Amino acid sequence: MQTQFDQRENNFDFIRLLLSVLVIFSHSYALGTGSEITEPFNRLTHNQVTGGDIAVDLFFVISGFLITASYERTASIAGYLKKRILRIYPGFVAAMLIDLLIVLPASGGHLLPQPHIRQALEFLVQTFRLREFHYIGAFLGTPTRNQ
- pLDDT digit string (tens) for 27-45? 999 888 888 899 999 999 9
Residues 6+ apart with CB under 8 A from 38: 29
Asked which of 49, 73, 97 is the last residue of a domain, the reply is: 73
C-beta atoms surrounding 133 within 10 Å: 17
Tell me what the mean pLDDT of segment 92-103 comes to.
Answer: 91
Please indicate, yes or no, whether residues 63 and 91 belong to a single structural domain of this protein: no
Domain range enclosing 57: 1-73
How much is the pLDDT for 38?
A: 92
Of the pLDDT bands very low, low, confident and very high (cuts 50, 70, 90), residue 138 is confident
* 80 inside domain: no
Model-wide pTM > 0.85: no
Asked which of 18, 39, 73 is the last residue of a domain, the reply is: 73
88 within 8 A of 62, measured Cβ to Cβ: no
CA distance 21 to 33: 19
CA distance 92 to 89: 5
Please indicate, yes or no, whether residues 91 and 134 belong to a single structural domain of this protein: yes
- In 3D space, the residue among 106, 103, 107, 70 whose CA is nearest the CA of residue 88 turns out to be 70
How much is the pLDDT for 14?
A: 92
Please indicate, yes or no, whether residues 62 and 93 belong to a single structural domain of this protein: no
How much is the pLDDT for 57?
A: 97
